[in-house]
Amino acid sequence: MTAQDDDRFLGLALSLGRRGLGRTAPNPAVGCVITRAGRIVGRGWTQPGGRPHAEVMALAQAGAAARGGTAYVSLEPCAHHGKTPPCAEALIAAGIARVVAPIEDIDTRVGGAGFAMLRAAGVEVTTGLRVAEAMEDHAGFLINREHGRPLVTLKLALSLDGRIATATGESQWITGPEARRQVHAMRARHDAVMVGAGTARADDPALTVRDLGISHQPVRLVVSRRLDLPLMGQLARTAADGTVWICHGRDADPQLIEAWQGLGARLIAVEGRGRQVDPAPMLTALGAAGLTRVFCEGGGALAASLLGADLVDRLVVMGAGLALGAEGQPALGAMGLDRLAEAPRFTLRDTRPCGGDVITLWDRAPG
Ligand code: AOF
Ligand code: ZN
């Protein structure tokens, strides 16, 4: 097997893994390709809800052809006994001769034990290839396991002058249909779509993934300290499907808590901070509830509170070619910053045109 083959097959395993993003939480979205004599004999990825694991799917497809083959996996195979035996054991039992995986699984039940189990059984293990890509794909899972919170992507749809609505609250639509399609594709790759109470009241959003032929829907998450959300809106009308979660202050009106529970929403009580919900314990609660990737779509107050607490990992800025002026609503509420040195910084990852708009992707600057 040449280095180019390793790179290519591992690249394929990574791209298969990405198919599961937004559907496998709390588990990582892993991909696996099994080859034998340079030919692909099995492909698999983590199934919705996190099980079966990728290797099990690929081994099932490969059958007897896996014997003597190589397994390319986008994350270290697991070593623990869950509902099914560990993947490392399954690979050994199938007669896999070599495993190529970029990085260790930092889950405390695995943490190198999968690689050790394979090596002990005489399987050759190669690691360290395509590491940056694997870290990127598994960022939500890794952040959850390391910091106990989900990865947070913040999306802002802005006018040329950084406004998200007119003074009267009109915001539909600032960006064009192509950019909105992109937003739906991004929603689908996250476990939850999150908005603040102001946005929920002003836009009455459905927060669903539409027009992509996707059956799976992310959790629809609203943050509302006082739980003063329209009880007749789209979210209320559709909460019975169990995908509406609301983070509210511990001091929210018990009658409203009961009303939303009655509608089918899952309520998460969090400490307050000023007039808002404290973002750090809120994300800890969401991480504990199993979320690994949260896509926040504003509004300005929630976006500012997440940014101010340095809790935004990725920024997606959709810039439109229209000007709304100083009376328009700013993208971010007050952040209480006095000095430039205190401002959260982001590193540019990518810029691309999208219809008549521009999408810029930013990563939280390290440090
Ligand atoms: C793999 N392949 O496709 C995935 C893995 O709750 P369980 O038993 O399903 O185990 C979940 C853990 O398994 C998860 O925290 C992570 O360490 C690993 N995920 N491992 O070998 C996979 N999704
Ligand atoms: Zn496994």
Query: What is the distance between the alpha carbons of residues 152 and 296, in angstroms, rounded to a whole number?
Result: 7
User: Where exactly are the structural domains of the chain?
Assistant: 3-140, 149-364
> What is the average pLDDT across 313-329?
97
Domain 149-364 has CATH 3.90.1150.10: no
Q: How many angstroms does the Cα of residue 263 sit away from the middle of ligand 1? A: 33
The tens digit of pLDDT for each residue in 148-201 reads 999 999 999 999 999 999 999 888 899 999 999 999 999 999 999 999 999 999
Which ligand 1 atom sits closest to the C-alpha of 57? 3
Which residue in 55, 76, 133, 297 is the catalytic one?
A: 55
Question: 54 C-alpha vs ligand 1 centroid, how far in Å?
Answer: 9
pLDDT (0 to 100) of residue 1: 67
**Ligand 1 binding pocket mutation candidate from 105, 106, 115, 117 (most atoms within 8 A of CB):** 105
* C-alpha–C-alpha distance, residues 365 and 328, integer Å: 29
Please tell me the CATH code under which domain 3-140 is placed.
3.40.140.10
Element (H, E) at 348: strand 346-354
Check pLDDT > 90 for residue 34: yes
Residue 274: what pLDDT? 85
* Pocket, ligand 1, Cβ cutoff 6 A: 27-28, 30, 46, 50-51, 53-55, 77-78, 82, 87, 105, 107, 110
The atom of ligand 1 lying closest to the CA of 24 is 23
Which of 18, 57, 78 for mutating ligand 1's site (highest number of atoms within 8 Å of CB)?
78
Lowest mean pLDDT among 210-214, 249-253, 260-264: 210-214
Model pLDDT, residue 214: 75
Catalytic: 55?
yes
- Stretch 204-222: mean pLDDT: 87
Q: How far is CA 216 from CA 46, 47, 60, 185, 268, in A?
A: 15, 12, 24, 12, 23
pLDDT (mean) for 123-143: 98
Closest residue by CA, ligand 1 atom 10? 82
The rounded Å distance from CA 167 to ligand 2 centre is 52
| Contact (CB, 8 A) for 303 and 164 | no
pTM, full prediction:
0.95
pLDDT per position as a tens digit, 9-29: 999 999 999 999 999 999 999
Cis before 52 (ω within 30): yes
The share of the chain scoring above pLDDT 90, in percent, equals 88
Q: Measuring CA to CA, which residue among 92, 75, 43, 85 is closest to residue 142? A: 75
The residue whose two tokens read 């504990």 is 288
